[in-house]
Structure 1
Amino acid sequence: MTDEKTGCLICGGELVYSDTEKEMECSFCGKKFRTNVACENGHFICDECHGREAEAMITAFCLNTDLKDPIKIAITLMRHPSMHMHGPEHHYLVPAVLITAYYNEINEQEKKEKALKKALSRSEHIKGGFCGTHGTCGAAIGTGIFISVITGSTPLSGESWSLSNRMTATALMAIANAGGPRCCKRDTYLAIIGAVKFLEENFKVALPVTEEFCCEFSGLNRECRKKECPFWCGQSDNLK
């Protein structure tokens, strides 16, 4: 794995998306997959290879931190070299930081490890690029995973089933209203902030959350919408 933070992780080239899938070999593990995205120079990296190191880092940090602000947890994790500008690792990051902040806030830290394992297992089914091909963003689904984990929801549940789906819908509307193209950082912020409000309204748990801040990753995003993004304020790299 190279240190490219955006675009192709091998050469930094532009990623090319197609509306049809073709079989390609992962440039790292050599396994073959059906995919609709590859870089302009022909490189392809599967979701597992893309996010493997980041997932381990996210779990380790979440298990050991006592932070209760999910935005601060998320930004700290995003600064790690294994986290790229875009990628399916964000699909795990969202439920992981919410689970961490929630159990830290209610003083039930012993439940984090089991909950994080469930969140990781469920998030692995959300492929990269879902936001453009399946009409739903992995960050939004991540909030639904969070609610389903803390409530123990199953397909046969009643209220918890409803809450999990309402959470995903709430986050997805905020992301959709922000407009495209996708930005994994912006969509992660929107999903987390939406989940914090949903948690307070439906579970009476108020997490301390940073809502006004400057996104320090905009310079890495080739498609950054700049002034049209609620988190853009020049090239500042500090929280307000």
Structure 2
Amino acid sequence: MICGEPILYKNPTTAEICTFCGEEFTCEGMCANGHKVCKGCSDNQAVNLIKSTCLNTRSKNPYEIAIGIMKNPVMRMHDVRHHILVGSALLAAYHNCGGDIKLAESLEEMEKRGKQIPPGACGYLGNCGAAVSSGAFFSIVTGTTPHSENNWSLANTLTGTCLIEMGKLTGPRCCKRDSFIALGTTIDFIADTFEIHMEKPTKLICEFSERNAECIKDKCPYYAKETV
């Protein structure tokens, strides 16, 4: 999040000084340039970027919003902040398309719910955080609760549809690929359900493949040998 270099993980046995805040913490990894960032600083930088971007954008395209945020070094290649990002980008685009929500309050709620989705949920729980983030987005804009009727069904249908689309591809996980699938599935679902038409690219080429050591390459619909 300082220089954009990949994080080199190590056993978290030594205390280090955070490059951002100067506080001592148990360090799990640093980049090749020796930058070390504690979890608190990492979380705050990424979440603040997501909220500020989504509050100030006029874009009706959640892909455009999300990818712009993904390009910032504070958003790592694979990271739990994607669980907040997907729903937040959808909230911003939905609002800009005329969706009747209070955007600032909705983004605060999305942050709260996204933080409840544990890391590695895709593999450990069989429930990708990007799909859950889409379901949270739907629940927020519709005011869905565990006691709702029709919207309860729709929220779970959306999450399930996202997971089915993700499951059509092989692993390992990719936070970028799964976010793209969740965004596209949700855009179509909202258009069919509420006739609110968020925008999406006619063709999406992933710009992050070179950063992903586990990229499935030609098996991914967004992969291109020469990224743009």
Match of 1:20 in 2: none
Find out whether 1:227 has 2:218 as its counterpart: yes
Structure 1 residue identity aligned to 2:146: P
Structure 2 residue identity aligned to 1:3: C
Contact 2:86 2:134 (C-alpha < 8 Å) held by counterparts? yes
- Structure 1: state its 5+ residue gaps: 17-22, 33-37
Contact 2:2 2:73 (C-alpha < 8 Å) held by counterparts? no
**Structure 1 residues 125 and 31, CA gap change in structure 2 (3 angstroms):** farther
Aligned partners of 1:177, 1:25: CA distance in 2, in Å? 41
Contact 1:26 1:46 (C-alpha < 8 Å) held by counterparts? no
Structure 1 residue identity aligned to 2:161: T
Contact 2:121 2:127 (C-alpha < 8 Å) held by counterparts? yes
Match of 2:156 in 1: 165
The normalised TM-score by structure 1 is 0.81
Match of 2:53 in 1: 61
Match of 2:131 in 1: 140
Note the C-alpha offset of 1:227.
0.8
Match of 2:183 in 1: 192
Of all paired residues, the percent bearing the same amino acid is: 35
- Structure 2: state its 5+ residue gaps: 30-35
**Structure 1 residues 180 and 30, CA gap change in structure 2 (3 angstroms):** farther
After superposition, residues 60-209 of structure 1 pair within 5 angstroms as 60-106=52-98, 108=100, 111-209=102-200
Match of 1:3 in 2: 3
Note the C-alpha offset of 1:211.
4.2
Q: Deviations over 1:163-209 (max 9, x none)?
A: 11111101111111122000000000000000001111111111111
The normalised TM-score by structure 2 is 0.85
**Structure 1 residues 45 and 181, CA gap change in structure 2 (3 angstroms):** farther
Aligned partners of 1:78, 1:184: CA distance in 2, in Å? 10
Q: Deviations over 1:87-116 (max 9, x none)?
A: 0010000000000000100165x7110110
